[in-house]
């Protein structure tokens, strides 16, 4: 008898929050600077979740991390997690984010503060998938799959909605497709570490 075992699964946790009109207006008024990957702008403040306006959201983010770490990865209860960096990302028409991951971090995530349909899907890339160009040094393999499943799919796409909160392992590569409408798109990204690891000096976002 044969058996197929999914030896390395990759969880993506999805929650939903209420976003106030006041917060949507606030993120439009803060200071931004150009990002260093892809295009678009990110907030000058790289610890935005420490602000008083984000107090409740910060706790929701930490709760999502606890759900993922303790409920899925079964991390021991004595580990305390802290947000090491957090920022607002603004995408105007045509702006996108190239494929990357978040080194120097354990968990990462994104909260969509204000996004319209067509504002740019987030795409998670399976670099180990059979037939993935990343797994084969960008060489196109000479076959096609009858259909995609969790073993062979090269990517997984999530169409974001305002209030959607995604939490995932920082090592998972992801990208953001271009914003194809004229409405600015605002999201909040964050990195999380165990408190004991905060002495790590280099955090690349």
- What is the per-residue pLDDT across 123-147, written as a single tens digit (0 to 9) for each? 999 887 655 555 555 555 656 778 8
**DSSP letter, residue 6:** -
Predicted local confidence at residue 205, as pLDDT: 40
Alpha-helical regions (H) of the chain: 21-29, 55-66
| Confidence (pTM) | 0.90
Dmax over Cα atoms in the chain, in whole Å? 62
Contact 113, 162 (CB under 8 A): yes
Q: pLDDT value at position 172? A: 95
Q: Which pLDDT score, from 0 to 100, does residue 28 have? A: 98
Residue 42 neighbours by CB distance under 10 Å: 20
Residue 154 has a pLDDT of 86
The domains of the chain, with CATH numbers, are 12-114+161-197 (2.60.120.620)
d(CA 3, CA 127): 24
CB 97 within 8 A of CB 175: yes
Residues whose CB falls within 8 Å of the CB of residue 58, separated by 6 or more in sequence, listed in order: 49, 50, 83
* Phi, psi values for residue 3, rounded to 5°: -145, 135
Per-residue pLDDT of the chain (205 residues; tens, 9 = 90+): 999 998 888 999 999 999 999 999 999 999 999 998 778 999 999 999 999 999 999 999 999 999 999 999 999 888 999 999 999 999 999 999 999 999 999 999 999 999 999 999 999 998 876 555 555 555 556 567 788 888 888 889 999 999 999 999 999 999 999 999 999 999 999 999 999 887 654 444 4
Residue 10: the pLDDT is 92
Based on C-alpha coordinates, what's the Rg of the chain?
Answer: 18
CA distance 9 to 190: 22
Sequential DSSP letters for 119-138: S--EEEE-TTSTT-TTTTTT
- Collapsing DSSP to helix, strand or coil, 118 comes out as coil
Distances (CA, A) of 1 to 4, 36, 150, 181: 10, 52, 22, 53
């Amino acid at each position: 008898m044969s058996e197929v075992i999914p030896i390395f699964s990759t969880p993506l946790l999805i929650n939903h929050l209420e976003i106030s009109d006041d917060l949507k207006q606030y993120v439009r008024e803060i200071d931004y600077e150009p990002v260093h990957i892809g295009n678009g702008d990110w907030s000058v403040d790289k610890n935005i979740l420490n602000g008083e306006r984000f107090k409740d959201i910060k706790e929701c983010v930490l709760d999502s991390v606890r759900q993922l770490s303790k409920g899925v990865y079964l991390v021991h209860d004595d580990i305390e997690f802290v947000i090491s960096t957090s920022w607002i990302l603004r995408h105007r028409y045509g702006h996108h984010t190239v494929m990357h991951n978040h080194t120097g971090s354990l968990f990462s995530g994104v909260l969509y503060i204000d996004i319209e349909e067509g504002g740019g899907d987030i795409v998670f890339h399976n670099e180990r998938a059979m037939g993935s160009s990343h797994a084969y040094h960008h060489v196109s393999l000479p076959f096609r799959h009858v259909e995609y499943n969790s073993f062979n799919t090269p990517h997984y796409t999530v169409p974001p909605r305002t209030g959607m909160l995604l939490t995932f392992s920082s090592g998972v590569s992801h990208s953001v497709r271009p914003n194809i409408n004229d409405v600015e798109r605002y999201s909040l990204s964050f990195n999380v570490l165990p408190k004991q690891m905060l002495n790590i000096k280099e955090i690349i976002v």
